[in-house]
Chains A and B, each alone.
Chain A
């Protein structure tokens, strides 16, 4: 399998995402506001302002920006969790969001049950989960605890298992948000190796991380967001230098 085939994997077209904060939730407050003659009870905040970009199949892209720049919102729009207010997003093939690992884990279920549940949540079929179960457990390195309830796991074990499920979903497009901060150093290296092998297989990856050196080395393109606007789209080391004020 080669990398870039020239086809688009992700198209973001004039995307606008606003958040509304509905402040008034109780009758008492509504009446109080109404008496004072203030009717507006909705504040708006535009997280993404007219973002357009195209990511080709097989590209590894770092989404960069400081806190509040809209990186995670953009990732959530691509994964489908958030619906655009204007514009649109298009994705080719199956998509897996490692937006927050372990979101579908339930503490009262065993490791095994959680692997099945989370695998299905991430879009795997029963046969696929069964086929990869061994590999998932081996990757997570918690063989002897797999039939224990997850609430007895250490936080490192929990994250390792969650990550193991996520990287075995075999999607075409991979969205990675701050998950490389998982576990100890040997496990981190293992995760990075796994991501590199996904990349070598020609998967499309979009990565958000605050570890700038790591993502710059890992990715072949960097997109810089500032206050919901794309301000730079270039080679990742150049983008990181700009973020650090070096260029």
Chain B
């Protein structure tokens, strides 16, 4: 039997434990193992995608107990794709953290990063709702560690809020789980779906409340209005590479919404009819707008990236809220885009912050000015959803999918207006940070220097960067992935369509997971 589906969980966990046990004081070794582990995870993810593309739901029964009694992992196109996205992001973030020396500013960065990957992969693979809770906790607690890595008053204060808010979220998760178990007597997602579809009317209220609250928990993770308040402060205060890695966390929330709505909470069931869209769609629209407003109003680079993340999640949630096959496919296309674009922006923000501080204000030319500007500019193009990068295609798809919806004018209007506001904010920030010389600084003496400052080295304010080259490799790798997503939009969309067809075929999923004939 193939143990492939469990590897994305066991490998990072074992690697992290191994790092903790044997190489606590050897940063170089940690780096080597961490990068090797990320590469291995990427390879495994590629195998998973290949495996999943046969259209089957591959079930892995942990402990050899049949679902719903034991915990099962289920590998389908969607989960394989999400694991691959995680692996890619992990690799880039690891390289960046090594290159920027972030991993040397506190202990155990690499172990925490691997644990984070374990939690995220587990959340994408599990077919059990309570097990999903456990993986949420793993990815959350690892993210707490990554967020407060390297300390500092502002970061710790933001960290406290981040932890406390997410503890509220975890508590709500358990309340919802309790209500669902009390109503249905099961924990497996597929089994939940089967049982809820047959739920007698007198039990419906409990299941409805449980389902709605569980979706709310995922909305908290995804940072939808009005439960997004944890994000700006936390992500802005987090170390750059941590925040970049967190780009996948909001997507875990969106993934869970899609998965649960398709598998566990069938709205075709009388018990759950019309449960989610009524509030999810307005929330998503408001999220996109508030994110865009935050980008326009941001005073610091990191906050700009954080609100940019919110804006793109809002757009993504619009597609997730509509929940038609077409909109879900658009969401699946937009998902990797939104993740990678947000990660690039956090890396760009970190590059600027490391060199001349976080403020969006005129400042001195910095080391590698042109390269940093290029990363920011391309990241901004992606985040604002402008051509030629994939964000534009993603938005087009989402708008296209909203055609015929009764609120189509609202949806289109919000997507377009949010794009414009984001664009204005990014143009303002880029022009202030990269173009405007500080007071008293005139035109740079030798403009040819512009392209030549790779040789200039870090300025006096910049802390020594062990390997700036590695940081740019990481950032441009993410941008290259975005470019690939654009050029290969056709195949990507075919994959997304197939993944959605599989996602929406709850019967086949249940057949596979519950071993129904």
A and B from one assembly? Answer: no
Which B residues contact A (CB, under 8 angstroms)? none
